[in-house]
Amino acid sequence: MAEEKLPRRSEDFSAWYNEIVSRAELAEHSPVRGSMVIRPNGYGIWELMQQALDKMFKDTGHQNAYFPMLIPLSFITKEAKHVEGFAPELAVVTQGGGKELEEPLVLRPTSETIIYHMYAKWVQSYRDLPILMNQWANVVRWEMRTRLFLRTMEFLWQEGHTAHETEAEAEAETLQMLGVYRTFMYDHMAMPVICGPKSDSERFAGALRTYAVEGLMQDNKALQAGTSHNLGQNFAKVFDLQFQSREGTLEYAWNTSWGVSTRMVGGLIMTHSDDDGLVTPPKLAPVQVVIVPIFKTDVEQAVVMGAADAVFRELKAAGVRVKLDSRDSMSPGAKYYDHELKGVPLRMEIGPKDVEKNTVVIVPRVELSKEEAAKPGRKQKLFVPREGLSERVRQLLDALQSQLFDNALARREANSVRGTTSYDEMKALIERDAGFIYAGWCGSAECETKVKEETKATIRVIPFEEFRSAVQPTHCIVCGGEARHEAVWAKSY
């Protein structure tokens, strides 16, 4: 534990991120450039994300399925926009079983093509619609500049794919699933994303409309954390996904697709963690409470371990993900350091005096504003009676979950700039990484491109009503023409 301190976020955000991922044993580079090994601490977060999302998908009527990873190259090239978007990122299998393949196969960068090819076989009439499927899978996109979790050559994700009778139904599904992502990110990730459509230039390759949820990271860069696409009839037309309508006519189906990935783990890290290490929202923490027993003598050890074990069993029975850290080669202080680094939400200290007084000490990973404040320069310490402990732990976990959301929301708002009308001011704001810049946009690709070229910032979303500024801009911040939308600009991952 004699490791150096983490780099500070304020000094080198990127080095800080990399060190957290490495020292908290979340993930590591694999020998194949750009691909990642997700270690148990990182995978545990992903598993909890999966469980929560999977339940939400099923509650909204979706079923899981699995489609093959290998797709004929000719499938990808069928949809013009799609191939344009994905061709540069393809990994191609040219040999199998010791022979050259007649047709190369690509590793799925996303599965629209193979899935709508199959749907076309399954759908004859409107009675076969809607199809509401999801798959949990790995995908491969040949990325040159990779970062663990945020951008890797292979990543894990889910991709929902649906087929509907009408455009209205497809649009409702697209928005419903964006809403599911938003709810998940608010309630589980404690990440107050903003939501809305993307501009045309940021649309998914082959979609009619793309909607996104965007988080603001602590370095004031945006992270696109999930997307939901209304694909229109683009893929249906290419893959002959037709059905006999209620009126007896032959129609193309309307498709949607929507996905989130292991990238969310990166977003979670960059939203909540601090200079002491990882911070994990309790709902997604593989270990929610760690018990650290403190003793010097053998007699103390016997007493303390007995009490610690009883608490462990009580919390476990109450459904808390609890760990008793009984490593004897390590001092309590070294354990504190380790669990802070690894982001355990609540640390519980039990020493001989605690046993005597029938209490425990709980140290929340992040200070809770509704509890007695910490002494200056110290961590917040809560003295909790043994009686009713699991109840209190549940309540503290909930409080921490809310606290993280409140902190993140306050930070996002402190780093959201509204009311700017001068393009020069906007450029200065972007230059100093001011965060989300809300400003008017005429809707033209020219103005959008100009900002991107001059500042590297892009339109993250055109926010839905509830995310818009109270006072709506009237003019485009770039050209001064009439504003068609309020847009949110930021540099992004």
For a second copy, the closer of residues 38 and 205 by Cβ is 38
Residue 384 is a binding residue for a second copy (CB under 8 A): no
CB of 27 to a second copy, least distance (A): 9
Angle CA(43)–CA(46)–CA(52) in degrees, nearest 5?
Answer: 145
- 297 vs 329, which CB is nearer to a second copy? 329
Q: Is 334 in the site for a second copy (CB under 8 A)?
A: no
Establish if 329 lies at the interface with a second copy (CB under 8 A). Answer: yes
- Which CB atom, from 195 or from 268, has the smaller least distance to a second copy? 268
Quote the least distance from Cβ 361 to a second copy, whole Å.
Answer: 28
Contact 479, 214 (CB under 8 A): no
Gap between the Cα atoms of 350 and 352, Å rounded: 7
User: Is residue 312 part of the contact set for a second copy (CB under 8 A)?
Assistant: no
Q: What's the one-letter identity of residue 267?
A: G
* Short-list 135, 87, 155, CA closest to 257: 135
In the complex, minimum distance from the CB of residue 47 to a second copy, in angstroms, rounded to a whole number: 6
Cβ proximity to a second copy, 49 vs 360, nearer residue: 49
How many whole angstroms separate alpha carbon 455 and alpha carbon 448? 11
Could you tell me the smallest distance in angstroms from the CB atom of residue 284 to a second copy? 15
Q: Give the closest residue to 175 by CA, choosing from 230, 252, 254.
A: 230
Candidate ranges 35-43, 159-167, 219-227, 364-372; the one touching a second copy (CB under 8 A): 35-43
- Asked if 410 is part of the footprint of a second copy (rule: CB under 8 A), the reply reads no
By the rule CB under 8 A, 452 interacts with a second copy: no
Name the segment binding a second copy (CB under 8 A); options: 97-105, 243-251, 310-318, 468-476: 97-105
- Give me the least distance between CB of 341 and a second copy, in Å please: 17
- Told to check if 53 binds a second copy by CB under 8 A, we report no
285 makes contact with a second copy (CB under 8 A): no
Contact of 361 with 382, CB cutoff 8 Å: yes
97 belongs to the binding site for a second copy (CB under 8 A): yes
Please say which residue, 323 or 418, places its beta carbon nearer to a second copy.
323
Strand order from edge to edge, sheet including 209-216: 63-64, 131-140, 154-164, 254-261, 222-232, 209-216, 194-197
70 sits near a second copy (criterion: CB under 8 A): yes
Query: Can residue 153 be called a binding residue for a second copy (CB under 8 A)?
Result: yes
Q: For the residues of 8-55, what is the DSSP string, one character each?
A: PTTT-HHHHHHHHHHHTT-EEE-SSTT-EEE-HHHHHHHHHHHHHHHH
Q: Is the peptide bond before 88 cis (omega within 30 degrees of 0)?
A: no
Query: The tokens 């027993």 sit on which residue?
Result: 293
Using the rule CB under 8 A, is 127 a contact of a second copy? Answer: yes
Instruction: Establish if 22 lies at the interface with a second copy (CB under 8 A).
Output: no
Q: Which is nearer to a second copy, 80 or 445 (CB)?
A: 80
What are the C-alpha distances in Å from 416 to residues 67, 107, 128, 182, 198?
41, 39, 46, 19, 18
Q: Which is nearer to a second copy, 66 or 383 (CB)?
A: 66
Q: Where are the beta strands (DSSP E) in 201-318?
A: 209-216, 222-232, 242-244, 250-252, 254-261, 289-293
Residue placing its CB nearer to a second copy in the complex, 144 or 310: 144
Of the ranges 88-96, 180-188, 388-396, 452-460, which one interacts with a second copy (CB under 8 A)? 88-96
Closest CB to a second copy among 344 and 437? 344
Reading the block at residue 154, the tokens are: 């292979």
Local structure of residue 213 (DSSP, 8 states): E
**Residue 175 corresponds to which tokens in the numbers above?**
């928005």
For position 75 contacting a second copy by CB under 8 A, the verdict is yes
Q: Is 90 in the site for a second copy (CB under 8 A)?
A: yes
Integer Cα distance of 281 and 83 in angstroms: 39
Does position 306 bind a second copy by CB under 8 A? no
Three-state SS for 460? strand
Amino acid at 284: L
Residue 133 touches a second copy, criterion: CB under 8 A: yes
Count, residues near a second copy per rule CB under 8 A: 55
Tell me which stretch binds a second copy (CB under 8 A): 23-31, 187-195, 413-421, 463-471.
23-31
**Bridging pattern class, strands 346-350 and 289-293:** parallel
Distances in whole angstroms, Cα of residue 246 to Cα of each of 51, 162, 164: 37, 19, 13
Q: How far is the CB of 138 from a second copy (least distance, A)?
A: 6
Binding stretches for a second copy (CB under 8 A): 28, 30-32, 35-40, 43-44, 46-47, 63-72, 75, 87-98, 104-105, 107, 114, 117-118, 121, 127, 133, 137-138, 140, 142, 144, 153-154, 156, 329
